[in-house]
């Protein structure tokens, strides 16, 4: 019998914060995610930096960029800080806040909204707080800011819909660091009585986090399948022994779901924007989530993430995602002259679970590197250029997820030549 498992939804039910979930048509086991019955797809980015930490733009500039580009929601997620309190940034020529940038802000938002004063005889600008930004930019049903933080220790974990700043774990161990930082968000959610979620960021950045390390933190339910920062090696790096993020997702899912059907891992796409002015490799507009929610409020959007009612995009827009006992259907929003290749990816029961250590050029095992597995893990079960794309379950899948590859190149891509892409969440069998 077909079942889909959504632990997050079960948790939400237990804590009493879930609302009606999915639109059902036909039999009880038919699930369709599409804009219907008052629900809408909302586009948002949950990973953004500003002058509150190491981004190069004032927060109002960042927020205005996303609003102008038609995003519905945005989380400013600066490192270990919320956009609260007072923070003054020096105004200096050839600095991230130059006199020209300040003039630009005055032109864009009015001089009355740019708070320049002198400190120790030197000019500074006071950053606008989330409260002020909400008053300036939010519009009911049109644009929303959701409070967030990039909890930045040995690993980086974004907490979304927070009420207070959370202090990063001091652990130098990847697994402990992730576990403690995700736990901070979960505890905060329980105490505050409102939905929150945490996603593990850029597992291929810097020293890296292996798929096995993420799989070993069952508390973690979300990770970035795609991060728009040019330095994060989404597609892997042979020299550094880093696996493709899709490969890592399949290893995590197989490790977890073969033991416990509730141990899902969702993939989110984000920008991790740092660079708003054309320089640098972490520019806005590369990766985002499309969330099917009841309305545009922080709790509704977060609850939809907790239910798994979202897909991740680096360009492709979907109309609907549906599944029942026999099939899984993904419909891309048609665009003239554009074709879509949809891959249904999964691991089947009885897979070859053998693996070997990845060794460096010196013959020694590489640390924080994903092991090498058989092709049974994350197999392309079916590929089609039909739209809608329909996969018929064979009956022995542990999970199935879809990756949609457009014939259209992505504008300002993560890597030159990238097509537009989307990823749906895994269906657990
Ligand atoms: Zn980070
Ligand atoms: Zn970041």
Mean pLDDT lowest among 1-15, 42-56, 290-304: 1-15
160 CA distance to ligand 1 middle (Å): 14
367 CA distance to ligand 1 middle (Å): 20
The ligand with the least distance to the CA atom of 206 is 1
* DSSP calls for 152-215: ESSSEEEEES-SS--PPP---SHHHHHHHHHHHHHHHHHHHTS--EEEE--TTSTT---HHHHH
**Cα 212 from Cα 201, distance rounded (Å):** 15
30 CA distance to ligand 2 middle (Å): 37
Number of C-beta neighbours around residue 285 at 10 A: 18
- Which residues fall within 8 angstroms of residue 331, CB to CB, at 6 or more apart? 318, 319, 320, 321, 387, 388, 389
The ligand with the least distance to the CA atom of 274 is 2
Q: pLDDT at position 76, please?
A: 98
319 CA distance to ligand 1 middle (Å): 31
238 CA distance to ligand 1 middle (Å): 22
Closest CA relative to residue 318, chosen from 288, 278, 273: 288
The ligand with the least distance to the CA atom of 52 is 2
Q: pLDDT at position 69, please?
A: 98
69 CA distance to ligand 2 middle (Å): 20
Q: Is residue 335 within 8 Å of residue 385, measured between CB atoms?
A: no
Paired strand residues for 156: 152
**Cα 256 from Cα 309, distance rounded (Å):** 20
Output the six-digit token pair for 210: 């292996």
Residue % of the chain over a pLDDT of 90? 93
The ligand with the least distance to the CA atom of 148 is 2
274 CA distance to ligand 1 middle (Å): 10
The ligand with the least distance to the CA atom of 78 is 2
412 CA distance to ligand 2 middle (Å): 19
* DSSP calls for 87-129: -EEE--TTSSS-HHHHHHHHHHH-GGG-EEEEETTEEEEEPPP
The ligand with the least distance to the CA atom of 49 is 2
192 CA distance to ligand 1 middle (Å): 25
**Cα 55 from Cα 2, distance rounded (Å):** 46
**Cα 302 from Cα 252, distance rounded (Å):** 23
The ligand with the least distance to the CA atom of 232 is 1
**Which domains are delineated in the chain?**
7-83+128-428 (3.20.20.140), 88-126 (no CATH)
Q: Is residue 1 within 8 Å of residue 325, measured between CB atoms?
A: yes
338 CA distance to ligand 2 middle (Å): 32
The pLDDT-based confidence of 5 (bands split at 50, 70, 90) is: very low
32 CA distance to ligand 2 middle (Å): 33
Q: pLDDT at position 414, please?
A: 96
Closest CA relative to residue 229, chosen from 208, 252, 201: 201
Q: pLDDT at position 8, please?
A: 43
158 CA distance to ligand 1 middle (Å): 8
The ligand with the least distance to the CA atom of 202 is 1
Number of C-beta neighbours around residue 317 at 10 A: 17
| Count of helices and strands (H, E) across the chain | 8, 24
The ligand with the least distance to the CA atom of 46 is 2
The model's pLDDT over 370-422, given as tens digits with 9 standing for 90+, comes to: 999 999 999 999 999 999 999 999 999 999 999 999 999 999 999 999 999 99
Q: pLDDT at position 28, please?
A: 57
CA 286 to chain centre: 11
The model's pLDDT over 142-151, given as tens digits with 9 standing for 90+, comes to: 999 999 999 9
The model's pLDDT over 47-106, given as tens digits with 9 standing for 90+, comes to: 999 999 999 999 999 999 999 999 999 999 999 999 999 999 999 999 999 999 999 999
Output the six-digit token pair for 227: 């991060």
The model's pLDDT over 188-242, given as tens digits with 9 standing for 90+, comes to: 999 999 999 999 999 999 999 999 999 999 999 999 999 999 999 999 999 999 9
Query: CA separation (Å) from 180 to 187, 201, 225, 347?
Result: 10, 15, 21, 30
CA 8 to chain centre: 16
Closest CA relative to residue 273, chosen from 252, 293, 258, 288: 288
Q: 329 in helix, strand or coil? A: strand
151 CA distance to ligand 1 middle (Å): 8
246 CA distance to ligand 2 middle (Å): 20
380 CA distance to ligand 1 middle (Å): 30
pTM of this structure: 0.94
Is there a cis peptide before residue 86, judged by omega within 30 degrees of 0?
no
- The residue whose two tokens read 């940038």 is 101
258 CA distance to ligand 1 middle (Å): 30
The pLDDT-based confidence of 162 (bands split at 50, 70, 90) is: very high
The ligand with the least distance to the CA atom of 155 is 1
272 CA distance to ligand 1 middle (Å): 7
Q: pLDDT at position 191, please?
A: 98
Output the six-digit token pair for 196: 């929150």
């Amino acid at each position: 019998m077909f079942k889909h498992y959504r632990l997050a939804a079960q948790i939400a039910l237990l804590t009493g914060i879930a609302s009606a979930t999915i639109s059902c048509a036909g039999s009880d086991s038919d699930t369709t995610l599409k804009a219907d019955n008052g629900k809408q797809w909302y586009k948002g980015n949950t990973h953004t930096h500003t002058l509150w930490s190491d981004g190069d733009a004032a927060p109002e500039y960042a927020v205005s960029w996303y609003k102008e580009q038609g995003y519905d929601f945005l989380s400013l997620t600066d490192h270990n800080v919320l956009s609260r309190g007072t923070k003054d940034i020096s105004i200096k020529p050839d600095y991230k806040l130059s006199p020209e940038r300040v003039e630009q802000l005055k032109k864009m938002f009015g001089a009355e909204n740019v708070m320049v004063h002198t400190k120790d005889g030197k000019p500074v600008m006071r950053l606008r707080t989330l409260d002020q930004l909400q008053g300036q930019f939010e519009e009911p049903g049109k644009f929303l800011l959701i409070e967030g933080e990039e909890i930045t220790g040995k690993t980086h974990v974004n907490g979304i819909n927070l009420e207070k700043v959370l202090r990063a774990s001091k652990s130098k161990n990847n697994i402990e660091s992730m576990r403690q930082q995700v736990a901070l968000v979960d505890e905060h959610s329980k105490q505050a009585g409102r939905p929150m979620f945490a996603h593990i960021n850029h597992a291929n950045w810097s020293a890296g986090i292996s798929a096995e390390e993420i799989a070993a933190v069952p508390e973690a339910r979300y990770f970035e399948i795609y991060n728009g920062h040019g330095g994060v090696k989404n597609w892997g790096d042979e020299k550094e022994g880093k696996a493709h993020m899709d490969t890592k997702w399949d290893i995590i899912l197989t490790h977890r779901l073969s033991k416990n059907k509730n141990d899902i891992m969702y993939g989110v796409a984000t920008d991790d924007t740092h660079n708003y002015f054309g320089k640098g490799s972490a520019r806005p507009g590369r990766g985002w989530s499309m969330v099917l929610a009841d309305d545009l409020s922080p709790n509704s959007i977060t609850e939809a993430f907790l239910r798994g009612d979202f897909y991740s995009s680096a360009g492709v827009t979907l109309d609907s995602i549906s599944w029942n006992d026999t099939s899984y259907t993904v419909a891309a929003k048609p665009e003239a002259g554009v074709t879509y290749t949809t891959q249904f990816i999964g691991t089947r029961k009885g897979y070859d679970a053998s693996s070997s250590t990845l060794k460096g050029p010196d013959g020694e095992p590489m640390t924080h590197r994903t092991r090498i597995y058989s092709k049974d893990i994350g197999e392309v079960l079916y590929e089609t250029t039909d739209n809608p794309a329909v996969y018929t379950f064979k009956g022995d899948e542990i999970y199935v997820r879809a990756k949609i590859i457009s014939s259209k190149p992505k504008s300002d891509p993560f890597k030159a030549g990238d097509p537009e892409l989307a990823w749906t969440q895994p269906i657990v069998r």
